[in-house]
Structure 1
């Protein structure tokens, strides 16, 4: 993919966003700051151990920053079923809206659920709130 032209300020903000969340960043057309962070699961799908990034990655982004520095901020992670309510509560306590709770796979063990969330916020504030919300996941 060709390099996306963005301001040095956006680049710094994206690097800081990724650093807080502990992931790798890239800047997509838009511009969109996209951060991925691996998470280790001890799980199987169809009886086979999985290390697939389709299962193991946490994903975060921000885009559409307005003049006051607030952006559309999004997040997604996989959790074990018994962790879902705690994560949703953690997000809600910090003013972040959980928008989806669903599965991606069948016959996984233990049960893996995916949670998506969104907020219009300062990206750095969102990253900190998200980090606090997911800290218990390890």
Structure 2
């Protein structure tokens, strides 16, 4: 089996575990996208923008042991920050940022970024488990 096909299959399994849509780009980066079903307004207007509701996950740069650079970002409600932070840390996922993107939004939309170096499917399973603390 050629390496390209293997990476494509790995990307599809990564996406399946994370319950999102996966794609492999020309640089070998696997991107999984999904969007939360949360209700936000910005400047008093309802928004369903993918810029407001994202969950993005990537892996790239697989080494000879099958470990990759894994990155993630998710939108959160303010009250979800500490529970998710705790769950990610329990799983040795490094949280690199918690911040806002918007002004005048209701409720408060926050964004968390996280990373690890490990096999991508291990990362995906850890994320799936940690995200159980999020409201659906």
TM over 0.5: yes
**Partner of 1:40: helix, strand, or coil?**
coil
Distance in 2 (CA, whole Å) between partners of 1:37 and 1:78 is: 11
Alignment of 1:20-39 (within 5 A): 20-39=17-36
Unaligned runs of 5+ in 1: 1-5
TM-score norm. by structure 1 comes to 0.94
2:107 maps to which residue? Answer: 110
How far off its partner does 1:85 sit?
A: 0.9
**Partner of 1:55: helix, strand, or coil?**
coil
1:3 maps to which residue? Answer: none
2:83 maps to which residue? Answer: 86
TM-score norm. by structure 2 comes to 0.95
2:124 maps to which residue? Answer: 127
How far off its partner does 1:102 sit?
A: 0.3
From 38, 61, 75, the counterpart of 2:72? 75
Aligned residues: 134
How far off its partner does 1:7 sit?
A: 1.3
How far off its partner does 1:136 sit?
A: 2.5
Q: Give every structure 1 segment of 4 or more consecutive aligned residues whose post-TM-superposition deviation is greater than 4 Å.
A: none
The Cα RMSD (Å) is: 1.2
1:52 maps to which residue? Answer: 49
How far off its partner does 1:56 sit?
A: 1.1
